[in-house]
Chain A
């Protein structure tokens, strides 16, 4: 047998760091990247006698994420303590949620090869992040507690995912949602979006799930896909040989391209969950929910429907534009500044995205080509002032020199020659200079291109191709194709 004989069953747990100013239960900064142990306070260090106080900004983010994913939001829920010992866990327990998560159900919607997919969610809950162990020289480790207490949303999916590729797309969709909502930056490399995968196989058509392995340490979309692909192959070959898949946690090693056993179920933790006594029940009122519902932005899949529907873009173009809300917002701004949508989409996808190092740059204030400037350029092409080829050169100069299209066109005298008298004179001259070719045009209409090229050369590339074509066809008696 081979992989194709099995159905792949994947459930994902995605941890999203919430970009709040301070930590979820204390006052120090939740920002990434500071010197180790400078973003700490007695509470997040778990010093004796300190108490957690809930940061409502984290709750707001979780509620908005839940509403965007169509979850049921609990108007009353609880935090719970999850116990385990590790050096990066200051209190010996993590404040999380157990039997009363803030969000139940819901789904993440996205497209895989253009086909709409819906992956159901089990729940979304709030918890605090742990610190980070830094293993230095052999036998020496340090702990950085800057991350301890940074708010996290854990998004738990149902086992609805059927391939490694789909898993990666799902994670991408979660990141997109998080960025649309502005609740986090979803950066897998920096760890502000992390993903664990539960992977199992079953013989195609079987009702019961197979034994699952949990895969950790996948810190890029590529890692997610590669790790799960590898794990699927590993499990398939075990099953082919009639062996069992062990229920265990496995670590992805991206350098070697393999997953390795980390701990077995027998040594799994008993987390001894119980309700966090230091925090009263968390209450979210119906009025707050209504206000959050009102203020939700247009979400990726709604935008996709709008772009492929009323706006009239192809699904491919729409897919590229909605992937990041900054790109989509940029595109919308170009269109609202007067550019026709299809042309605007081409420009954004082929030129703007090719130059922006990070699509999120498009949300910044200091853009070399802000949306109204691109719209102006598109309009210059539309009204015949610039040829498509020249326009691309102009765009390059706009991006590097930070000048407007009108400035560049004026300064360089780049406007197309559409003056029919001047073009008529040049066309007549060229036709007269090539009597042999002129005589053959009737029998070989493609030859007209030769004359167009010659006239263009004569105008220094500035002649309006449409106008030149018309004049030449008239002079040479060629039919309009």
Chain B
């Protein structure tokens, strides 16, 4: 039997498909690890033991009967609690959705399940995906497996930490301003945010509709590629999903091993400026040198509107959030206040009790942004800035095939270090928001450890529908380094 500590998802699936081990045994090992280790880490909001074992048995039965159990046969996955799962409580880590059991399945999780993957349970996150540290979860924070005093990043902190600690073989999350890549960087795993519309948002609880990107987490680049290949594709239930055929992501990840001859990598001057942690800068520069040694040509590029990215992002995401969160009113599902004498009081008390501080802050900001007479001054202007930021990338991609940057200006920070100051927290997204605004793919992978033993993330950004070049560059770096083989102390237990 395989030791699942540090195991890759595709290796586990290959073994199940070949009959070398049973999906049920793999799943039981993960369930056992969750039972032993998760109380200290807090990755899972809900563990669906019976459901996971049932799915695993079905995979084994298919394999035994000679039917194709799917490309992800028996791969135990953790599901960010933003994805609706039929019959399994889905809360977005919010008190306002406590007890909500969706009667439908998100397209992404449905496709993963159909490919043989097994959902272990629901992972912790910042409430409604609003945050960069998982400190905003109504269920309490998730701890970073590399150091329990540090945050795992956010909002998909549970997903990144669970993969890092081998509490699942892969995970899925969502990225609105960096919520896949920043926790992937802080936990030392691979996180991929694909092109907007590449993965359906149906059944993914909306935070900021025009910015929400579902995507995978993997221990390796190929693992993330394998998950994305299954999740991606046109969905008739999402009018913004895109029809282009899904690329050969796994093949692209493996092709990286053959070097990066002919690939031009852009390095944006605006991303290496004041405020960056020196250890992060040193590691990322060393990674870029490694990519050059792999055959890539390094070219300087400019993304001049980067300085507007954070302001633009917070105007758009708060406006859309204030709208998307209007439906939580206590009338149909989720939390409802115990006592209300009128409809208005029902709304006020239900929402006052059900939402945490950060959703409340963003609802108020968003309502302000959208109020009558100020649309042009705020939202309208933000949309124009967003276009400029996207144009920057288009111009840069005329001179390069992919762009490499740090993922986060700092490694994992300590609990409470930034949560007192929302603006400080918002700056954690400084390198990740621009690809969300432009809707283009970007991937984070580990490229080093600080002296304190905290991971450092390297971000590769591709043009629209350029997932393959992101996987190829990341695959090349992974093939030439061994950072991804380092396990956090928690995972080694």
Interface residues of A (CB under 8 A from B): 42, 45-54, 81, 83, 85-87, 90-93, 143, 270-274, 277-280
Contact = CB atoms under 8 A, between A and B. Distances in A.
A87 B372 CA distance: 23
B239 A274 contact: no
A279 B240 CA distance: 7
Contacts of B323: 81, 83, 92-93, 272, 274
B343 interface: yes
A51 B201 contact: yes
B119 to A, nearest CB: 16
B210 interface: yes
B209 A278 contact: yes
A66 to B, nearest CB: 22
A87 B92 CA distance: 23
A272 B372 contact: yes
Nearest to B91: A48
Interface string B236-257: 1111100000000000000000
B102 A92 contact: no
Contacts of A91: 326-327
A470 B210 CA distance: 89
A135 to B, nearest CB: 11
B100 interface: yes
A42 B104 contact: yes
A231 to B, nearest CB: 27
Given A49-B206, A50-B202, A274 B375 contact: yes
A87 B331 contact: yes
Interface centre among B92, B97, B331, B343 (most CB of A within 10 A): B331
A277 B104 CA distance: 22
Nearest to B204: A49
Contacts of B97: 48
Contact of B100 (A48, A92, A93, A143): A48
Given A50-B203, A274-B319, A280-B240, 20 more contacts: A42-B103, A47-B103, A48-B206, A49-B83, A49-B84, A49-B203, A51-B237, A51-B239, A83-B323, A85-B326, A85-B343, A87-B329, A87-B343, A91-B326, A92-B329, A273-B375, A274-B320, A277-B209, A278-B240, A279-B239
A272 B371 contact: yes
B90 interface: yes
A88 B367 CA distance: 21
B379 interface: yes
Contact of A49 (B205, B332, B344, B370): B205
A273 B326 CA distance: 13
B106 A49 contact: yes
A48 B354 CA distance: 15
Contact of B370 (A47, A143, A272): A272
Majority secondary structure, A binding face: loop
A306 B492 CA distance: 89
Contacts of A50: 104, 202-203
Contacts of A93: 323, 326
A270 B371 contact: yes
B236 A48 contact: no
A81 B206 CA distance: 15
Contact of B92 (A48, A83, A274): A48
Nearest to A85: B347
B333 interface: yes
B104 A83 contact: no
Interface in B169-223: 201-206, 209-210
A48 B90 CA distance: 9
B205 A280 contact: no
Nearest to A145: B332
A279 B239 CA distance: 6
A293 B170 CA distance: 55
Contacts of B343: 85-87
A365 to B, nearest CB: 36
B216 to A, nearest CB: 18
B454 to A, nearest CB: 34
Nearest to B200: A51
Contacts of A45: 332
A436 B322 CA distance: 101
A72 B319 CA distance: 32
A53 B203 contact: no
A350 B310 CA distance: 74
A285 B57 CA distance: 52
A273 to B, nearest CB: 7
Nearest to B92: A48
A81 to B, nearest CB: 5
B468 to A, nearest CB: 25
B100 A85 contact: no
A91 B328 CA distance: 8
Interface in B294-329: 319-320, 322-323, 325-327, 329
